[in-house]
Chain A
Amino acid sequence: MIPLLREIRPDPIVEVHPETAKKHGIEDGQWIYIESPRGRIKQRAKLYDGIDPKVITSEHGWWFPEIKDPGHGWEISNANILTDNAFETCDPNMGSTNVRVCLCNIFPCENE
């Protein structure tokens, strides 16, 4: 981890349309849970009106080198938890996940 880069981007950000955020009671900068049938992660909401109100844009690849557990908090904000990683649905050649989109629900973190 490069500390000065972490200073500039400390948290994973999920873009949410302001109308959608209002509907779900989410405020700008609030930690929110993103949930799919496969699991739940949390990221920080950034209200952004440049996307369709029906979708959110979550950042992928997040883990936390500063958390000193062996897992470095890999399961806190990792978008791979939300996608379908089943053997049957992955690309037979590469094994990569078939789509980068999935149905999800969002709601604010009560304790943050």
Chain B
Amino acid sequence: MEKISLHIFEEDCNGCHACEIACKQEHGLGVGPRLIRVIEKSPLFIPVYCHHCDDFPCGDVCPVEAITRDKHGIVLINEELCTGCEACVEACPYEAMQYDEDRELAVKCDLCHERLEMGAAPACSLACPAHCIAWGDPKDFSN
């Protein structure tokens, strides 16, 4: 199957933060980790999220090789292997890697891969009232 990634059309974002809430609800996260977040720097709204990079530096620095890529190109953390050393948090160029202090684990956007398996959209994309969060094959976004 083709590669799947997330793309946010920043010019349509109005800074409502609905994606952040939807993401936290979907992943059962409390205060602290924000797997997708929107930084308000007027007049811009800057979404910060995992790009599921081709060369993923988070995986390169992980001492226990807990971060791997699945068949759709989604970069995932194996929570059973993660030791919570935070090396990946330091390494991520997009500041998308987050640390969950409650569980003492690194957490990141998993592109809602369980929802994708069922044919549903990622939670953030579904919640966005401006419809500016697209997901799918990155080659299609240019259209």
Contacts and interface: CB of A to CB of B under 8 A. Distances in A.
B43 A4 contact: no
Given A3-B30, A3-B31, A8 B21 contact: yes
A103 to B, nearest CB: 24
B42 A4 contact: no
B26 interface: no
Given A5-B21, A8-B20, A8-B21, A48 B43 contact: yes
Contacts of B17: 8-9
Q: How large is the interface on B (under 10, 10 to 19, 20 to 34, 35 or more residues)?
A: 10 to 19
Q: Looking at chain A, what size class is its interface with the partner chain?
A: 10 to 19
Interface in A1-21: 3-9, 18
Contacts of B31: 3-4, 6-7
Contacts of B41: 28
29 contacts: A3-B30, A3-B31, A4-B21, A4-B24, A4-B29, A4-B30, A4-B31, A5-B21, A6-B31, A7-B31, A7-B32, A7-B34, A8-B17, A8-B20, A8-B21, A8-B34, A8-B37, A9-B17, A18-B42, A28-B41, A28-B42, A46-B40, A46-B42, A47-B42, A48-B42, A48-B43, A49-B42, A49-B43, A50-B43
- Give the top 6 A-B pairs by smallest Cβ distance, nearest first: A3-B31, A47-B42, A48-B42, A7-B31, A8-B17, A4-B24
Interface of B: 17, 20-21, 24, 29-32, 34, 37, 40-43
